[in-house]
């Protein structure tokens, strides 16, 4: 195994979507400015390209957020996906948010604000009109308690690991070196600034470091001697302490049918579907009640997964002790991702939405998707500089779709503050500049 370089101008930790995107865009910025090249950038990863959540992500690309700052950031990211669909294995099929009355006002607001930033979508309101719209697309549509449909004509999904390989290829073509396995064990500092990244293969001196480690961010956060507990000030002026990191299990699976099993009435591939409803959900097999509370699922036909793939609401997992290293994608992680209750709920929910899925539970199978996500105190990303020269990309599990964040981080590393990143600074907690929340049952909304 070759030794690591003794120094590099920029060291990026993590070869997932944020690390690779930052490295690629940083190489482009350096070349365009005549101030360096991709050879000034190295990416370190403890395993390899897309070995964490980026490589097993469900791949949904959407703009559908209630928070204006998230919506603008996602519109920027969609434009990056659209810049090279072939290399990114991107499928621009669109995205649909289907919601009950309790969420209808939120959905209408999203539509208005999407129009204001030039992001194209169609809004359908009222149960009768929603049913007609959905039946025009799917002859067997039958979901209950639907009062709003927001159909984004942009967005869609991308193939997880193939897209990361494509992104890595773009970075490497510009001279970026992606080095693995290299496990970061600490940071050497001088006067507050990071002077070197310590790894199990030796130290790498650097001028700037980017931490883009997905669910492992907590461990690197501690290595930078940053606080494990944060005081959050509410909009009413009240203050409360929260752990900086909370872990949630992302539950996903695949129904083993031909992807073409879920096509539109015209025989076309449909948009990615996200359904939230407060209609009672009953077991598709025995008719027993699963829940009478607001619930939600998402799904899509996906040739990469070899079936109809999707997921449901995550569940919170026990916070790891500060002295326990996080390894969410270790050999036993799958048992936390998919269980019988999810299988029962998700397949029953598919049958609730489409008659074609009745009695198909036996076709469900576990797939390498889902995993563990590290969420911030308000479940929204933190993009900020710490220790003078350590840029932390903490996506709070919004990550894969946010391929454009790397382009913004690269510009900030070149000394150009980016307005799209400003709402995601760490200081928002102390200052009470929190993002609005919707009526969605999902914690990231």
Q: How far apart are CA 183 and CA 214, in angstroms?
A: 14
Q: How buried is residue 309: exposed, middle or buried, by Cβ count under 10 Å (0-12/13-18/19+)? A: buried
Mean pLDDT across 403-423: 98
| Proportion of the chain above pLDDT 90, given as a percent | 82
Q: How far apart are CA 308 and CA 256, in angstroms?
A: 7
Residues 260-291 have pLDDT tens digits of: 999 999 999 999 999 999 999 999 999 999 99
Computed over every residue of the chain, the mean pLDDT equals 92
Say what angle helices 17-33 and 160-173 make with each other, to 10 degrees.
20
What confidence score (pLDDT) does residue 319 get?
56
What confidence score (pLDDT) does residue 327 get?
54
Q: How far apart are CA 232 and CA 255, in angstroms?
A: 41
Pairing of strands 202-211, 7-13: parallel
Residues 214-249 have pLDDT tens digits of: 999 999 999 999 999 999 998 788 898 999 999 988
What confidence score (pLDDT) does residue 83 get?
97
* 70 confidence band (pLDDT: 50, 70, 90): very high
State the residue for tokens 């190295």.
Answer: 42
Which residues, 6 or more positions from 347, have their beta carbon under 8 angstroms from its beta carbon? 255, 284, 357, 360, 361, 364
Domains of the chain: 1-92+156-241+377-445 (3.50.50.60), 95-153+246-375 (3.30.9.10)
Residue count of the chain, please give it: 445
What confidence score (pLDDT) does residue 445 get?
62
Q: Which residue has the higher pLDDT, 322 or 10?
A: 10
For 269-296, letters b (16+ CB in 10 Å) and e give bbbbbbbbbbbebbebeeeeebeeebbb
Which residues, 6 or more positions from 268, have their beta carbon under 8 angstroms from its beta carbon? none
Q: How far apart are CA 183 and CA 1, in angstroms?
A: 14
Q: How far apart are CA 135 and CA 400, in angstroms?
A: 31
Residues 350-383 have pLDDT tens digits of: 999 999 999 999 999 877 676 788 999 999 999 9
Residues 296-345 have pLDDT tens digits of: 999 999 999 999 999 997 767 765 555 444 555 443 344 444 578 999 99
What confidence score (pLDDT) does residue 339 get?
72
| Alpha-carbon dihedral angle through residues 48, 374, 250, 89, given to the nearest 10 degrees | -40
What is the value of pTM for the model shown? 0.93
Residues 114-154 have pLDDT tens digits of: 999 999 999 999 999 999 999 999 999 999 999 999 999 99
Annotate 184-228 with DSSP letters as a single string.
Answer: EEEEEEETTEEEEEEEBTEEEEEEEEEE--GGGHHHHHHHTT--S
């Amino acid at each position: 195994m070759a030794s690591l370089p003794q120094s590099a101008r920029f060291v990026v930790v993590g070869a997932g979507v944020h690390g690779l995107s930052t490295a690629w865009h940083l190489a482009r910025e350096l070349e365009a400015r005549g101030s360096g090249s991709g050879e000034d950038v190295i990416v370190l990863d403890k395993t390899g390209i897309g070995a964490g959540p980026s490589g097993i992500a469900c791949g949904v690309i959407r703009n559908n957020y209630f928070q204006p700052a998230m919506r603008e950031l996602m519109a920027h990211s969609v434009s990056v996906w659209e810049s090279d669909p072939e290399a990114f294995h991107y499928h621009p099929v669109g995205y649909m948010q289907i919601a009950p009355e309790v969420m209808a006002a939120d959905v209408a607001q999203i539509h208005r604000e999407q129009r204001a930033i030039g992001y194209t979508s169609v809004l359908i309101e009222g149960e009768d009109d929603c049913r007609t719209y959905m039946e025009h697309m799917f002859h067997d549509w039958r979901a209950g308690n639907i009062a709003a449909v927001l159909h984004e004509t942009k967005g869609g999904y991308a193939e997880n690991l193939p897209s990361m390989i494509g992104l890595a290829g773009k970075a490497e073509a510009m001279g970026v070196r992606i080095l693995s396995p290299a496990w970061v064990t600490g940071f050497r500092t001088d006067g507050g600034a990071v002077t070197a990244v310590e790894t199990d293969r030796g130290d790498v001196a650097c001028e700037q470091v980017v931490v883009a480690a997905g669910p492992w961010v907590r461990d690197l956060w501690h290595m930078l001697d940053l606080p494990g507990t944060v005081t959050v000030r509410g909009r009413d002026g009240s203050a409360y302490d929260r752990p900086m990191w909370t872990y949630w299990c992302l539950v996903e699976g695949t129904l083993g049918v031909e992807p073409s099993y879920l096509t539109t009435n015209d025989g076309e591939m449909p948009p990615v579907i996200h359904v939230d409803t407060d209609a009672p959900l009953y077991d598709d097999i025995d008719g027993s009640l699963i829940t009478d509370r607001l619930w939600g699922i998402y799904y899509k036909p996906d040739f990469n997964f070899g079936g109809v793939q999707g997921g449901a609401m995550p569940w919170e997992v026990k916070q790891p002790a500060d002295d326990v290293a996080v390894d969410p994608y270790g050999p036993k992680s799958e048992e936390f991702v998919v269980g019988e209750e999810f299988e029962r709920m998700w397949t029953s929910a598919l049958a609730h939405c489409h008659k074609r899925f009745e009695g198909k539970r036996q076709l469900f199978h576990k797939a390498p998707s889902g995993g563990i996500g590290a969420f911030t105190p308000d479940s929204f990303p933190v993009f900020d500089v710490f220790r003078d020269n350590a840029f932390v990309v903490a996506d709070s599990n919004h990550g894969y779709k946010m391929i454009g964040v790397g382009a913004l981080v690269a510009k900030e590393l070149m000394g150009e503050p980016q307005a799209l990143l400003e709402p995601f600074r760490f200081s928002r907690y102390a200052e009470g500049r929190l993002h609005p929340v919707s009526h969605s049952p999902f914690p990231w909304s």
